[in-house]
């Protein structure tokens, strides 16, 4: 997952390949709570691992559930519909509506002393209609802040003060999570009599209620549904563990890759983990994408999507049935002919952020004309390619804003897109951007490279790693490659001489080399950082560097590190030979005295004896050799920016490089 302040996505050109989706958030948290309320143990497979499920799991442990990891599955031993005596806890539920609202209902009926809180945005998301419904039953719930909103205090209920013969009323036009919460919790009170829930007003997001009813049935609760207005939980209802249950992949997350297939040129995208027969309502996003022009095939657990009509066709759609996935249509509208209208989306305003306002603001940044109303959004794309603008997308700590706006990188003006706070996708899809980049392609020249060259011990490796970490870019330590090639040949038993030159070159082209932001050097899964620093490895590196075919293979290998979303490359000839078109080239220098002192400190910290005078002499001799060598001599590129780090801290050097980089970016916010 990208942990950076922002993520710059280069202009993308095409898409093709397979992507496997994570488990559904909506299903995961429902299954977790139902398993917790049940008797016995439930084994849950394919559970989503995200911020929202983690806060739910923590809360369930706090109330007495036993959780056991078994490989990729989770075993939950439930509380059998009753809390241990004297249970009390303070539960922090982040911004997870699928945890806050159902847990409020369940805990209010179970008894015990609880406080439920979350992040500031959670304290702005309404819960009053659910609390009103629970109070009809005699539940004791107090607001600790503003009335109608979390945080909450829950105390043991007085069920003698309220009868359950009359239907429990709950509004259906604010959030379907209120009804879901009651449906999942009220079997706790249905031992001796039927309990009826009556929906006041129009029920929005019916597909999410369908998910709830399907899962309740799996756990032994057969709810009678009277035209989505009355729901009856029969007397004698009791949660029974199904033994094991599989979590479907997330249909809402599928929307981004369905849209990707519809927008991008190329062979198309195959989406694994969800198919047309999904119980999730957001699978009907497929119909909306087809209406806009996407070509979609489906199997029992997969979708295949490719571009059909182009440009896409604008649509006018009631989105009540796909409230979360409909956000993706707002970005697809940028590529449509005409004006797209998304209706019946009032629930967007009480989600992780006010999504109608957020979408309108960010779409306008890109050059779209947008009209927003209380429950609709109307989007007209930029009239001409030249009207598109590079934009820094504010994500409002909303995972869906971050994910859907990544698709703006396919704009016809070939402009990059900046996604602020990319780690917000951890709520439902932590590896979203990695999955996106795995199926997207773009010409190599569009992928940004920062070159950091300089003499030995100038600190370029440390600076390159820090800059790469701050930008979320890959890293290339070119100085290690000849040592790795020599080590690989030695381990393979290949003599390092001209007779075996082509064999070594072929080996080099297949080496699975990775460099990490923590300056690890990995060959496959093995950290070889120590192995390539041996005297033998140094001698082998010198021998392989004399073989022209091996040098050519290593140049090709270095070029292959230029992958999405970008690269920071350090060495001696990155800006002059390997990446001469890089938009930023930094030539990092420091005095021989300073470099010798740094190297001395580094060696001593590792328990290696050293002489600072000898180190300085060695560095000066290496500088002379590197500058005089016939192939790729050490020198700054003509357009490189020189930076003397002798008197600067690592942080100061990093900040200067990032400042130069930001000056070259087109984003206006």
Catalytic residues: 324
Residue 237 labeled ligand binder = no
Measured from the Cβ of residue 58, the count of other Cβ atoms closer than 10 Å reads 16
Counting Cα atoms < 13 Å in the Cβ hemisphere of 165 gives 3
Backbone angles phi, psi at 67, to 5 degrees: -115, 135
Residue 427 labeled ligand binder = yes
User: In sequence order, which residues have a C-beta less than 8 Å from that of residue 526 and are 6 or more positions away?
Assistant: none
* Residue 634 buriedness (CB in 10 A; 0-12 / 13-18 / 19+): buried
Instruction: Give, for 535, the enclosing helix (H) or strand (E).
Output: helix 535-545
Residue 635 labeled ligand binder = no
Residue 64 labeled ligand binder = no
Q: Order of strands, edge to edge, in the sheet holding 88-92?
A: 88-92, 113-117, 152-155, 140-143
Structure tokens at 231: 């729901």
**Of 159, 62, 78, 164, nearest to 114 (Cα)?**
62
Residue 400 labeled ligand binder = yes
Structure tokens at 550: 């091996």
Backbone angles phi, psi at 269, to 5 degrees: -120, 135
CA distance 537 to 541: 6
Residue 458 labeled ligand binder = yes
**Of 216, 237, 233, 236, nearest to 225 (Cα)?**
233
HEC profile for 242-253? CCEEECCECHHH
CA distance 439 to 426: 20
CA distance 155 to 153: 7
Residue with tokens 């032994």: 220
CB 340 within 8 A of CB 333: yes
Residue 369 labeled ligand binder = no
The 10 Å CB-count burial string (b at 16+, else e) for 430-441 is bbbbebbbebbb
CB 225 within 8 A of CB 233: no
Residue 592 labeled ligand binder = no
CA distance 575 to 428: 40
3-state secondary structure of 161: helix
Q: How far apart, in Å, are the Cα atoms of 138 and each of 63, 166, 396, 453, 493?
A: 21, 13, 37, 71, 78
User: In sequence order, which residues have a C-beta less than 8 Å from that of residue 113 and are 6 or more positions away?
Assistant: 87, 88, 89, 154, 155, 156
CA distance 662 to 669: 12
Counting Cα atoms < 13 Å in the Cβ hemisphere of 230 gives 8
Structure tokens at 536: 């033998």
Residue 457 labeled ligand binder = yes
3-state secondary structure of 449: strand
Residue 668 labeled ligand binder = no
User: In sequence order, which residues have a C-beta less than 8 Å from that of residue 495 and are 6 or more positions away?
Assistant: none
CB 109 within 8 A of CB 115: no
Residue 243 labeled ligand binder = no
Residue 461 labeled ligand binder = yes
Residue 153 labeled ligand binder = no
Residue 355 labeled ligand binder = yes
Residue 75 labeled ligand binder = no
Residue 20 labeled ligand binder = no
Residue 25 labeled ligand binder = yes
Binding residues for 3-phosphoshikimate: 25-26, 30, 175-177, 205, 324, 351
Binding residues for ATP: 454-462
Binding residues: 25-26, 30, 97, 125, 175-177, 205, 324, 351, 355, 400, 427, 454-462
Binding residues for phosphoenolpyruvate: 25, 97, 125, 177, 355, 400, 427
């Amino acid at each position: 997952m990208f942990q950076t302040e922002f993520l710059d996505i280069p202009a993308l050109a095409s898409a093709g390949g397979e992507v496997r989706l994570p488990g559904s958030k909506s299903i995961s948290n429902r299954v977790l709570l139902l398993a917790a309320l049940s008797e016995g143990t439930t084994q849950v497979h394919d559970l989503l691992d995200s911020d929202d499920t983690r806060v739910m799991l923590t809360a369930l442990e706090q109330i007495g559930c036993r959780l056991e990891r078994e490989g990729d599955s989770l075993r939950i031993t439930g509380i059998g519909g009753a809390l241990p005596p004297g249970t009390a806890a303070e539960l922090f539920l982040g911004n997870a509506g699928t945890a806050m609202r159902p847990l409020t209902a369940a805990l209010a009926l179970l008894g015990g002393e609880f406080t439920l809180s979350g992040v500031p945005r959670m304290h702005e998301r309404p819960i009053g209609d659910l609390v009103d419904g629970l109070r009809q039953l005699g539940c004791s719930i107090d607001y600790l802040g503003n009335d109608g909103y979390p945080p909450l205090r829950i105390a043991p209920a007085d069920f003698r003060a309220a009868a359950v013969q009359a239907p429990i009323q709950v509004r259906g036009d604010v959030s379907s999570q209120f009804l879901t919460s009651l449906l999942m919790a009220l079997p706790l009170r249905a031992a001796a009599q039927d309990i009826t829930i009556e929906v006041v007003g129009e029920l929005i997001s019916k597909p999410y209620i369908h998910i709830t009813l399907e899962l309740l049935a799996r756990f032994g609760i057969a709810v009678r549904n009277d035209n989505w207005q009355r729901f009856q939980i029969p007397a004698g209802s009791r949660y029974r563990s199904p033994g094991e249950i599989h979590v479907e992949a997330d249909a809402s997350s599928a929307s981004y890759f369905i849209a990707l297939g519809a927008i991008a040129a190329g062979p198309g995208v195959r989406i694994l983990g969800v198919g047309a027969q999904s119980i999730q309502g957001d699978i009907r996003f497929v119909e909306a994408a087809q209406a806009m022009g996407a070509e979609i095939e489906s199997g029992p657990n997969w979708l295949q999507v490719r571009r059909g009509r182009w440009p896409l066709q604008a649509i006018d759609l009631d989105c009540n049935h796909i409230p979360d996935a409909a956000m993706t249509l707002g970005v697809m509208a940028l590529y449509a002919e005409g004006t797209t209208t998304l209706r019946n989306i009032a629930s967007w305003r009480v989600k992780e952020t006010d999504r109608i306002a957020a979408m309108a603001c960010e779409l306008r940044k890109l050059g779209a004309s947008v009209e927003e109303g209380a429950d609709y959004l109307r989007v007209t794309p930029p009239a001409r390619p030249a009207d598109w603008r590079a934009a820094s997308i504010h994500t409002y700590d909303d995972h869906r804003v971050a994910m859907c706006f990544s698709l703006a990188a396919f704009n016809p003006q070939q402009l990059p897109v900046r996604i602020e706070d990319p780690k917000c996708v951890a709520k439902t899809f932590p590896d979203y951007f990695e999955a996106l980049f795995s199926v997207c392609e773009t010409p190599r020249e569009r992928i940004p490279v920062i070159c950091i060259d300089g003499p030995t011990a100038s600190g370029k490796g440390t600076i390159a790693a820090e800059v790469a970490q701050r930008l979320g870019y890959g890293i290339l330590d070119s100085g290690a490659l000849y040592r790795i090639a020599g080590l690989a040949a030695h381990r393979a038993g290949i003599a390092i001489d001209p007779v075996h030159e082509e064999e070594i070159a072929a080996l080099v082209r297949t080496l699975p080399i990775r460099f990490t932001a923590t300056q690890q050097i990995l060959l496959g899964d093995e950290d070889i950082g120590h192995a390539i620093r041996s005297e033998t490895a140094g001698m082998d590196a010198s021998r392989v560097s004399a073989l022209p075919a091996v040098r050519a293979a290593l140049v090709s290998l270095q070029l292959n590190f230029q992958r999405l979303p970008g690269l920071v490359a350090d060495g001696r000839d990155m800006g002059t030979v390997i990446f001469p078109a890089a938009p930023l080239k930094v030539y990092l220098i420091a005095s021989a005295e300073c470099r010798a002192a740094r190297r001395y400190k580094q060696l001593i910290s590792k328990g290696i004896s050293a002489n600072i005078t000898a180190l300085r002499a060695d560095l000066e001799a290496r500088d002379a050799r590197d500058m005089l060598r016939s192939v790729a001599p050490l020198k700054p590129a003509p357009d490189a920016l020189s930076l003397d780090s002798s008197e600067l801290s690592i942080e100061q050097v990093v900040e200067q490089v990032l400042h130069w980089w930001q000056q070259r970016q087109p984003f206006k916010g």
